[in-house]
Structure 1
Amino acid sequence: MKKRVLLISYHFYPDRAVGAKRPTQLAKTLISEGWEVDVLTKQLDPKSKKEQVASGEYGRIIPVYQHPGLINPTWRLLKRIRNRIKNSSETESQPKTENSTDINNSLFESNVSTFRRVIFSLQSILSETKSWVALSLLYLLAFKLKGVKYDLVISSSPTDSAHFLALLAKKLFSSSWIVDIRDPLILWDEVDKETVTKFRTKFEERMEKNYYRNSDYITVTSPGLQRELIDKKSVPSSNIKTIYNGYDGRALEPTFSDSLPIKFVFAGNLYFKRNPVPLFEAVKRLKRIGVFDSSSINIDFYGDCNSWNGIDLEKWVEKNNIEDIINFKGFVEPQELESLLCKYHVLLNFSQFQPKQIPAKTFDYLRYPGEMLVIAESGSDTERLVTENQLGVVAAPDVDSISAVLETIIEQGGDTERKAKKVQMKRDEFARENQNRIFAEIAMRLVS
């Protein structure tokens, strides 16, 4: 008799979010291993919903509607009311002394600041994902009333709301439970300070402890996150394992030339802490002192790369006279991008200030023949993975380090093809299907 698993993930096929890949391909692997798979996920647009329901490749997908939430529209309404009151007070004809105006403004701003912090904190707790949780809970209760049984529940985050649902599902169905964590559940350093209250802090940290304590096994995507959960969260080392994201599809053959220029590429979005400016500064320096010019190096950016944290990168490049080396290509279709990336000698990967997270791009790039150049701090999980497995080279995120690595790559020139073949020998281990087989073995062990 087939074992039955309930997979709970906010992102899932055909969602284009990066976070959808891991649970989607995991479901496919579990089905190939003989599991019956039900997937509880968020409902997308009507067209995508039809794809979700019609597709049998990834199991029985149950898309659940999510309301936009109560706090977001309420906060927008309050902002409009606030602006009207402020504008009205400014147009009043009744004269006020300068001191009374300053005092009133100060009190007003203080009250607004406090109110903002409370609203934003509530917004994180009563967001649209929580409406998805509430409606998903109704589905779980309906399954229970119908006598549905699950041998195993798997929850994959972000968002951590998936784990809240899985905690309830474990108790409803008396199932084993695997918590799959792609990113740390709580990153207070990366949260807007205005959204952090004592209530929110206590609530989220208490829930995190509940997830770890009630789960039967935990899977994570990086060794650093595994070490943190063992050392700081008291997770038994026997109940946790690192399973990398891996790459999908077959490894591709090179179509680049070994003659100059050496062609670099970045494909994706420059968001969060993926700061390209130190790279640009290094290119500017090396061009100025005559190490290279556009005849020996080209760097192309595909995707949402025209700006970073408010900096217009195209203008920056033009102002610093390196527009002949650095080019912004915009968006291309995935199929076209796949063939394009095979033409590049060096694949750029930005992973600054993420010591316990390995960008999915690190694995996606392993499909392609070029050498990977990662910009990351020494000792980070990404740096260790790339260095220890000889998957590419790593430069610290400062101008001197990046300059040194660029010089070395240019000096080696035509050696790129030999390196590509060497890296190719390491790739199979990191194919997602191989990583997912490890996951499937853990799942079967829990229910046997």
Structure 2
Amino acid sequence: MYIYNTKNNMEKVLIITYYWPPSAGAGVHRWLKFSKYLSEYGYRPIIYTPNNFDYSLKDKTLELPNIEVIRKPIFDPGHYFQNFFNLKLSQGLLEDNKGFFEKVSTWIRGNVFIPDSKIFWVNPSFKYLKKFLDKNKVRLVITTGPPHSMHLIGLKLKKKLNIKWIADFRDPMSNWDVINDFKPLKYSIKKITSIEKSILKNSDIILVTNDNLAKEFSEEVNEDKIKVVDNGTDFSFMSNGKYDKSFKISYLGSLHKFRDPKIFFEILKELINSNDGIRKNLKLYIAGPITKSILNRLSGDDILSRYLTYKSYISNEETFKHYVESSLLLLLSNKDSITQTPSKIYDYASSGRRVLTLGKKNKPLDFLLKDLSLDKRIDYDDKDSIKKIILKSYDDFKKNKKPIKRKNLFKYERKFLTKNLSEILNQI
């Protein structure tokens, strides 16, 4: 076990991540927050990330002072395809009805660039980091994906140097629902599965965000090397905010083919027509990347468009403001995934507001909902249950109900989770 009391004596840990501020969006927060607190537990994070990242989402307020960040150029052919054809695949926007160029681009993404188009950053990163690790006496390396090419940098370093390597999977790899959208050939599936197995077998520790993914990976490696570390939340952002003057329903995240709550919007329209209070007081707020087809459907709807406010991106600080103002927060789990847990669940829970969760049966998600005293998950097409939650939240709004205190939320506070992470690092 390593115990350090001063900055100079801290154990250095290199974190290889594609996402780092000023990049914004869901992929950045997990290791941004762990890095913020690691020094309190004896570890000095050093971040390795691209310096010419295509910032489709940008938020300078996320940047952390006093953390060493190494930025190196990346060649990513995926950006050339997206810019040339004006696509938004980097934001995870998966359309049901793709145009010709989108079909070509996604096919290339799934069958030429394996595991992803960041693959060309692996060799130059390995060459630089091999010298850097040796010169700076760094023995701990963490890679986080997606993009899963980051793990290949760790794999090459592990094979050449005497390091301890932790591979962090924020999402699945070979069994990721996004992969199927790329129409992979049998060869492509075989190759990405082979890469995944190599990462799992050669890493010293595997980090995942839920038990289902841990169980899936345990079929390939000893379960003792797999550790579950949740994404968590920051209480420091939360305040005792008041409800908006309107009955505000908010969704803060991406909407695409795997997260398209059509039935929810239909029920909302029905309630607008049948409930005078909701018709007069409703405010529908959505912020995040949305596919063109879904945005057109919402903005073109004669009823919903009158209540809808949409922002393609808002800052992290502003996001939390909307959490506490809302009477109801919509949480969406990918329709075909049981190995992913929506990272918003922790922030939603800490807001104290009612949460409507839509998705298929998912044991880790269902456990979290129960543990955090949130309403049970509802299937996307369960009209009666969806309607009941909306009406309950409207009743909360009318009564100006106080925020709900979540008794187990402390277990998911990011500083507490970083302590758990440090204990894992202490053991290797």
Q: Which TM bucket (shorter chain)? A: 0.7 to 0.9
Map 1:34-53 onto structure 2 (within 5 A).
34-44=42-52
C-alpha separation between the residues in 2 aligned to 1:126 and 1:234? 19
* Aligned partner (choices 359, 366, 370) of residue 387 of structure 1: 370
Stretches of structure 1 lacking an aligned partner (at least 5 in a row)? 78-114
Kindly state the Cα deviation for residue 292 of structure 1 after the two structures are TM-superposed. Answer: 5.5
Q: State which structure, 1 or 2, has the greater radius of gyration over its C-alpha atoms.
A: 1
| CA drift at 1:282 | 1.2
Q: Which of the two has greater helix per residue? A: 1
Letter in 2 for 1:132: W
Offset at 1:238? 2.0
| Deviating more after overlay: 376-385 vs 206-215 | 376-385
Residues 38-437 of structure 1 aligned to structure 2 (within 5 Å): 38-44=46-52, 57-58=66-67, 60-69=68-77, 121=110, 123-125=112-114, 128-143=117-132, 147-187=135-175, 189-191=177-179, 195-230=183-218, 233-250=219-236, 251-256=238-243, 262-290=247-275, 293-295=278-280, 297-304=282-289, 307-309=292-294, 311-316=296-301, 318=302, 321-323=303-305, 326-330=307-311, 332-353=314-335, 354-398=337-381, 399-411=383-395, 414=398, 417-418=401-402, 420-423=403-406, 425-437=407-419
Letter in 2 for 1:124: F
CA distance in 2, matches of 1:383, 1:273: 19
If the length of structure 1 is used for normalisation, what is the TM-score? Answer: 0.76
| Residues 306 and 187 of structure 1: CA distance in aligned 2, closer, same or farther (over 3 Å) | closer
Give the Cα–Cα distance (whole angstroms) in 2 for the partners of residues 363 and 130 of structure 1: 32
SS in 1 for 2:401: helix
Amino acid at match of 1:351: S
Match of 1:13 among 21, 36, 41: 21
Q: Distance between the aligned counterparts of 1:149 and 1:245, measured in 2?
A: 29
Q: Over residues 373-430 of structure 1, what are the superposed CA-to-partner deviations in whole Å (9 max), with x where a residue is unaligned?
A: 2122233532331134313453221133312332343455556635x2333x332221
Instruction: Tell me the residue number matched to 2:12.
Output: 4
Contact 1:29-1:440 within 8 A present in 2 as well:
no
Aligned pair in 2 of structure 1 residues 385, 151: CA closer, same or farther (>3 Å)? same
1:197 and 1:164 map into 2 onto residues whose CA distance is 21
Greater alpha carbon shift after TM alignment, 121-130 vs 267-276:
121-130
Moved more, 407-416 or 146-155: 407-416
Equivalent-residue separation in structure 1 for 2:362 and 2:393 (angstroms): 22
Q: Give the alignment's TM-score, normalised by structure 2.
A: 0.80
The answer to whether the Cα contact below 8 Å between 1:71 and 1:119 also exists between their aligned partners in 2 is no
RMSD (CA atoms): 3.7
Aligned residues: 397
Indicate the residue corresponding to 2:92 in structure 1. Answer: none
Identity of aligned residues (%): 22
**1:148: Cα distance to partner?**
3.7
Contact map agreement 2:327 2:396 (CA 8 A) in 1: no
Q: Is the 8 A contact 1:4 1:37 kept in 2?
A: yes
1:137 positional shift: 1.2
Contact 2:327–2:397 (Cα < 8 Å) also in 1: no
CA distance in 1, matches of 2:107, 2:317: 46
Offset, 1:249: 4.4
What amino acid is the match of 1:429? K
In structure 2, the residue corresponding to 1:295 is in which secondary structure?
helix
3-state SS in 1 of match to 2:147: coil
Unaligned runs of 5+ in 2: 1-8, 86-103
